[in-house]
Structure 1
Amino acid sequence: MSTKPGVTSRFRPPKFCFTCGVNRAAWHWPSVDYCYGCLPGGPFPAPSCERCGSPDYFSQGLCERCHPGSPHYIGQCKDCYAWGVYRGHQWRCRHCAWWASHNPLGDCRYCHRRLPIGERGACRLCIESARRIQQPGRDIDLDEGTRHGLQLFFANMPARRKLPLPAQSTRASRIVLDAEASAWEQPALFELAPDPEVLRQRATAQARDWTYRTDGIVFEHARQFGWSNRQTNQVRRSLKMLQILAPDGTTMVRATEVIRLRRYDAEGNIVSTLDVLDAAGLLIDDRTPHIDRYFDGKFAGLPPAMRTQLELWFDIMIHGSPIPPRRKPRDPATVKIQILGIAPIVTAWAEDGIESLAEISPELLLDSLPADAGKRHWAERGFRALFGILKGRNAIFADPTTGMPLTEPRRSTPLPADTETILAALNHSDPAVALATSIVAFHGLTNLQIRALQLTDIIDGRLTLPDGRVIPLAEPVRARLRTRLDHRATRWPRTMNPHLFVTMQTAPRLSAPSRQFPWLKAGISAQTLRTDRVLHEVQASGGDVRRISDLFGIGIESVARYLGVLDPDLSGHRPD
């Protein structure tokens, strides 16, 4: 059993993969002794860096540049604190390496550190700081140069001396500098990860001037959504950490900086902190959507022309196009499936030396399609959309999918569910599991419809769906509904969440539960229950296509999939 490492272990190089011995282990906490390429059941694609988004994964969610234990991690010189040295150089810049080989170890007379010192009893950093203000023709004054602090530099670069401004232009120059400083905000040049323990201590003992902006909203959210004292304190501590980490003068917080707090506070409430900052008008939402990260991961390393064409297709698919040829935006789930279908083929074309999608002929496209009916169907759908958009934008000369027939997807045979499993879920001790199972088992709703149900959708024992259907609830469903509502009122008496199904994570906010709730605990999926319900209706109605279509809100083609499964005599009821 692994334990959470201390601060110093973050800077040690992680151990090598147990299998290949070449790459580093994917995670050192929690302990994963394999790289992503050698994980059992893999290989799996390594994720992008959580800090900078780089695809060069190293370990612990970070890339080679961001992980402190990587040989390519850039740090500071241990003698002069200059930025830009590597572990392989013993954390010393070139100047300090030479200085250490020519001077003895001792205590610096000015900064009182123990390190190589020169003839005047000063270390190299103190001497370089004094040289910065040295007047031409005069010796360096170490007392004056170190009185107000030490000047840091970039590694392996000569330190520039500060030249005094002419007396007649000093005031004017300062006015110009002040004006520029007020008009521009200095971005961070590089990021230094703070000590998590010190950060938690400062967040507990200190607060900056943002507290008056956020505390009122925190307490208002706590009152409206029924936050516990623990959750309220978690959000306040996270806000104090953000205030401590932010540079002076910063008035806005980026969402990625809030998410990064998980590195320093494992018990922080990130979602509620984002809600408070958004309500306060202090949030800049710079989070990259999951579909964007998925696209970048699948099409990394392609030729520039091909990558540009794919980005054009992806942008129009996600956001649509208001200019002719117009196109409505597609659901990200649909785009993800199409990417999954075309990504292996496009990558293979790039490996064969193809630079642009304009080089693809109908013959090459047909030869590249997979033989499996399911994979071929989605590849054909993806390429139809891809080449159709590129042809409409004059990015290619001809559409190779013109006249290409669409392969029908392979359809599975629907089968009834195990009765004992359904009865166990209907009589589950968790009221949420019992209610969700009964709604699907008796009325055949989908998992998406279950998650979207709100308290106001049920009036006088009747359920109204967004598509206009009104369903009288069966008596077993009503009994489980009463039990669930009593449990909700007892467990979360002050929640403002309007959804019928509320969890510990969604009770303090207004979002719907996750798609796995409550089916992981039920031991059966909503789709299995819905399929079982449709099959029973097919048998009871004698294959009445119109009745099944109206009852479950599905199309004629979907109804035809269920007909004749249990009783071969119903095959005559298939639509023409």
Structure 2
Amino acid sequence: MAQVEFCFTCWPGGPVVPPPCLRCGSRSLYYTSGLCERCHPAAIPPPDSCRNCLAWGATRTHGWLCLGCKTWCRKYAQPAAVCRSCGHLSVLDPDQICRLCRKQTSQTPATHRPTDFDQIRRSGQQLFLADLFSSRCRGASIPTPARRRTPVVPQPPRPFTFTQLALLEATRSLKPRGSKGLAQRADPQLAAWVEQFTRKRAAQHGWSPDTTWRVRTGVNILLGFETIPGTAIAATDVDILAELRLPVALVTTVLKDAGLLHDDRIPAVIAWTEQQITHLPPAMTIEIRTWQRIMREGRTTRPRRRPRSDITIRIYLNRALPALTQWAAQGKTSLREISHDDVQAALPPTGTPRALTGRALRSLFDVLKTSRLIFTNPIRQIPTGYVDSNIPMPLSVHHIQNGLTSPDTATALLTALLAFHGLTARQVERLQLTDFDHRHLTLDDRRVLLADPVLDRLSAYLDHRHYWWPTTQNPHLFIHFRNAHTTAPVGNRWINMRLGPHLTPRKLRDDRLLSEAHAGGDTKHLMELFGLTPGVAQRYTATLKYPDLATPHPGTHPTPPPQATPRGQHLPDAPHAGEAPMADEDSQRHHNSAVPDTSPEERKRLLAAESCNGPDCQVILRAAVSRLPTARYCSARCRQAAHRFRQRHRPRTTPPTAASPDHSAMP
């Protein structure tokens, strides 16, 4: 309607209903010349719903189609039809399903069953905004402006002496946003600087292109969060990348290499301790926190103290908690109020529980006393005893066979190394590829000849290792999907999970050492073969008194031996392996000239109390001879014990007669 000065809304006597659009027939958004805003070429229509998938945000630029539907219509170039699932008129795929129903299936958990579109239709259709679905490969590289031809110059972060505090603490969520826009928000110069550390670590540890891309994307997302480029990123903020399934540990390592990480994570042992002591009085809680801090960090001033491991702190606190809870229930508000009688009442009566609880309480009160937080040490003069030693037991043959024949190559190799060569769990964790040389294995200062079953399982595991991680730079023998991109060894938990519920490294090692002791029964042989100390070797040779330990029935455990003797004592009449007979005449003369007045029981008591039970020292002390040129004492303590023994029982100067008793057969 040309030459009309009023619109239909402002028409005199109106408003007047505008006529329908001459092109599309719409009765809304009338523009001019008989056309609506969607059809007039000079109009700028607002966004509207996609005419194919109903996503809001489509524009006239692509014919009122979103970018996904534009590709969909080009791929399935066919007339619009009715969807067999929702009944919507749109372009369908070969299965007669529209794009809206296909996108709806991506919101449901993935299963191995065929997609049930009827179930999706009954639960309703969730519409979405147009052009928000991006592919994984977009935005991964360092963002560079399209018109910028000069390369981005990496610039190190500027040092800041301040920290921008947040006005309101809000929880971030990356699931509805994707990674494209967040990765492009990073500062280009700073992103190029961190990229150098990403490529360096990727080359050192053999990362795959996909792993490198994921680390780069995660780093750029975190750099995009910074309001001031160059400030340190909190380690707790890196955990949000787990929502996008990005490697949190590797991103943390790269940021630490670049000097952009502020580690504000609370150690697990501290968080665990806070949970355990919530029911204790405030003063007692402060004292326990002080003890824990000194145990973890140590002390460089007098009295000095070395730091302890987190496992030691957990064990000590677990043992001390029952006593602390008992004192808190009695109305004690601080450990300063604990007396000698309170400790006596809280300790278990006897045995290993008393020894372990006393050890934990002794550590707690010693630290607090040296820190001047308590006045006296109430456990100072209370004997708590020692932990009862146990006798090693053999394993079931059936369980060992299952481990050796396991289809898992890692389990089979672990069982073989532990069962054939008696390695410790720490030695298995630290094994490296360079420790193996053809048929030999180098352990510390020992060179072990590998058995044929071990070599077969080693070859199978190396093939498995190369197949799954061909580019890994981890030097350790055993790796898994978590440490394949690093140089860290496996943990004790991974080894126990591989061995299963019936086998542990300690049990397999005890079974191997027990078998070797019953096969040879020589302490020195065990020391040289497995690198044991004399005391540890004699723990296994002392079981020769029980021959049933050497022949367990398959699938069953042998009859348990009598109760173990306390620490520092020998089994009665147990043979001492490794005792070499004194063949020289001088030794035999001194041996026959020993005092016959000392009873065997008295001699055993003196030997058990004054020696370390080493094989060489036992030979010298039993014969009661002066120091021989070939005799070797294991320590100054045993040399002094031999001197005291000779002073108490001086040998006779008269030569032995025919009636003199022969002590050469003394056990």
What amino acid is aligned across from residue 572 of structure 1 in structure 2? A
Q: Does 1:444 align with 2:446?
A: no
Match of 2:491 in 1: 514
1:525 to 499, 504, 511: 504
Which string of whole-angstrom CA distances, capped at 9 and with x for unpartnered residues, describes residues 51-76 of structure 1? xxxxxxxxxxxxxxxxxxxxxxxxxx
**CA offset digits 1:229-270 (Å, max 9, x no partner):** 3322322232233133333445211211112433x32x1211
Amino acid at match of 1:375: P
Deviation at 1:557, TM superposition (A): 5.3
Aligned-residue offset at 1:365: 0.4
For residues 32-111 of structure 1, the aligned pairs below 5 Å read none
Q: Which AA in structure 1 matches 2:510?
A: T
CA deviation digits over 1:478-518, x for unaligned, max 9?
33223333333333222111101121221111111132334
Q: Which amino acid aligns with 2:198?
A: V
Quick one: distance in 2 between partners of 1:456 and 1:472?
Answer: 15
Aligned-partner residue type, residue 485 of structure 2: P
Report the 3-state secondary structure (helix = DSSP H, G, I; strand = E; otherwise coil) of the residue aligned with 2:307: coil
Find the aligned partners of 1:241 and 1:352 in 2 and give their Cα distance.
Answer: 54
Secondary structure in structure 2 of the residue aligned to 1:470: strand
- Distance in 2 (CA, whole Å) between partners of 1:484 and 1:342 is 44
Matches within 5 A, 1:300-315: 300-315=278-293
Moved more, 546-555 or 207-216: 546-555
SS at match of 2:386: coil
User: Aligned-pair RMSD on alpha carbons?
Assistant: 2.7
Match of 2:218 in 1: 238
Deviation at 1:367, TM superposition (A): 0.4
CA distance in 1, matches of 2:282, 2:499: 49
Residue 217, structure 1, aligned to residue 219, structure 2:
no
Of residues 453, 457, 461, the one that matches 2:435 is 457
Q: Secondary structure at the match of 1:199?
A: coil
Residue type of the alignment partner of 1:310: I
3-state secondary structure, aligned to 2:492:
coil
Give the match's secondary structure for 1:572. Answer: coil
Corresponding residue SS for 1:527: helix
Q: 2:459 matched to 1:482?
A: yes
Question: 3-state DSSP class of the match of 2:166?
Answer: coil
Is it true that 1:191 corresponds to 2:169 in the alignment? yes
Q: Which range is displaced more, 222-231 or 545-554? A: 545-554
Change (3 A) 1:230 1:384: same
- Describe the superposition over 1:69-95 as per-residue Cα deviations: whole angstroms up to 9, x where unpaired: xxxxxxxxxxxxxxxxxxxxxxxxxxx
Query: How far is the alpha carbon of 1:561 from its aligned partner?
Result: 4.9
Matched position secondary structure for 1:324: coil
Aligned-partner Cα distance in 2 for 1:317–1:471:
38
CA contact (8 A) 2:403 2:412 kept: yes
Secondary structure at 1:196 match in 2: coil
Q: Does the CA-based 8 Å contact 1:337-1:378 persist in structure 2?
A: no
Q: Which amino acid aligns with 2:241?
A: L
List runs of 5+ in structure 2 lacking aligned partners.
Answer: 1-159, 548-570, 577-606, 609-667
Q: Which residue of 2 aligns with 1:253?
A: 233
Structure 1 residues 359, 519: closer, same or farther in 2, change over 3 A?
Answer: closer
CA deviation string 1:86-116 (max 9, x = no partner): xxxxxxxxxxxxxxxxxxxxxxxxxxxxxxx
Maintained 8 Å contact 1:463/1:472: yes
Mapped to 1, the partners of 2:204 and 2:409 lie a distance apart of 25
Q: State the match for 1:280 in structure 2.
A: 258
Task: Return the match for 1:380 from 344, 355, 358.
Answer: 358
- Listed one character per residue, the Cα deviations across residues 201-221 of structure 1 (whole Å, up to 9, x for unaligned) are 555663311421222322333
Cα offsets for 1:398-423 (capped at 9, x unmatched): 21112222233355553322223212
Amino acid at match of 1:286: D
Partner Cα distance (2:272, 2:350) in 1: 23
Q: Alpha-carbon deviation of 1:273?
A: 0.7
Distance 1:483 1:202, change over 3 A: closer
Normalised TM-score (structure 1): 0.62
TM superposition shift of 1:286: 2.1
2:513 to 534, 538, 551: 534
**Alpha carbons of structure 1 residues 560 and 350: separation in structure 2 relative to 1, 3 Å:** farther
Q: CA deviation at 1:331?
A: 2.3
Q: Which residue type is aligned with residue 216 of structure 2? A: R
Distance 2:478 2:181 in 1: 35
2:574 aligned with 1:572, yes or no? Answer: yes
Listed as ranges, the matches of 1:25-36 within 5 Å are none
In 2, Cα distance between equivalents of 1:421 and 1:511: 30
- Measured in 1, the distance between the counterparts of 2:491 and 2:426 equals 10
Structure 1: which 5+ runs fail to align? 1-181
Checking the alignment, whether the CA contact within 8 Å between 1:539 and 1:567 is kept in structure 2 is no
**Partner Cα separation in structure 2 for residue 307 and residue 205 of structure 1:** 45
Quickly say closer, same or farther: Cα 1:244–1:205, change in 2 above 3 A.
closer
Return the letter of the residue paired with 1:514: G
In structure 1, what is the equivalent of residue 65 of structure 2?
A: none
Distance 1:533 1:276 in 2: 44
- Write the deviation string for residues 535-564 of structure 1: whole angstroms up to 9, x where unpaired: 21221122x344434544455555555455
3-state SS, counterpart of residue 464 of structure 1: strand
Matches within 5 A, 1:200-215: 200-203=178-181, 206-209=184-187, 210-215=190-195
Structure 2 counterparts to residues 17-32 of structure 1, below 5 A: none
Instruction: Mark the CA change 1:546 to 1:294 in structure 2 (over 3 Å): closer, same or farther.
Output: farther
Task: Show the counterpart of 2:448.
Answer: 471
Structure with bigger gyration radius:
2
Query: Residues of 1 paired with 2:381 and 2:520: CA distance?
Result: 41
Q: Is the 8 A contact 1:203 1:240 kept in 2?
A: no
1:381-440 CA-partner distances (Å, limit 9, x unpaired)? 011111122222332222111222223335555332222321232233333222221111
The residue correspondences of 1:270-349 to structure 2 (distance < 5 A) are 270-349=248-327
Query: d(CA) in 2 for partners of 1:324 and 1:258?
Result: 40
2:461 partner SS: helix
Larger deviation: 372-381 or 275-284? 372-381
- What is the identity percentage for the equivalent residue pairs of Structure 1 and Structure 2? 34
- Contact between 2:238 and 2:248, CA under 8 Å: does it hold in 1? yes
Distance 1:372 1:256 in 2: 46
Q: Provide the residue aligned with 1:498 in structure 2.
A: 475
TM-score (norm. length: structure 2): 0.54
CA distance in 2, matches of 1:409, 1:512: 32
Residue in structure 1 matched with residue 594 of structure 2 by the alignment: none
Q: Distance in 2 between matches of 1:518 and 1:305?
A: 41
Determine the structure 2 residue equivalent to 1:15: none
CA contact (8 A) 1:457 1:465 kept: yes
Q: Look up the match of 2:330.
A: 352
What residue identity is the alignment partner of 1:309? E
State the distance in 2 between where 1:491 and 1:342 align: 46
For residues 482 and 195 of structure 1, what CA distance do their matches in structure 2 show? 46
Cα gap change, 1:465 to 1:294, in 2 (>3 Å)? farther
1:274 and 1:200 map into 2 onto residues whose CA distance is 20
Amino acid at match of 2:238: V
Q: Which segment is superposed worse, 456-465 or 433-442?
A: 456-465
1:238–1:273 CA contact under 8 A, matched in 2: yes
What SS does the aligned partner of 1:463 have? strand
The one-letter code of the counterpart of 1:573 is P
Distance 1:419 1:338, change over 3 A: same
Which residue identity is paired with 1:534? L
| Aligned-partner Cα distance in 2 for 1:454–1:213 | 34
For 1:418 and 1:345, locate their aligned partners in 2 and report how far apart those are by CA, in whole Å. Answer: 39
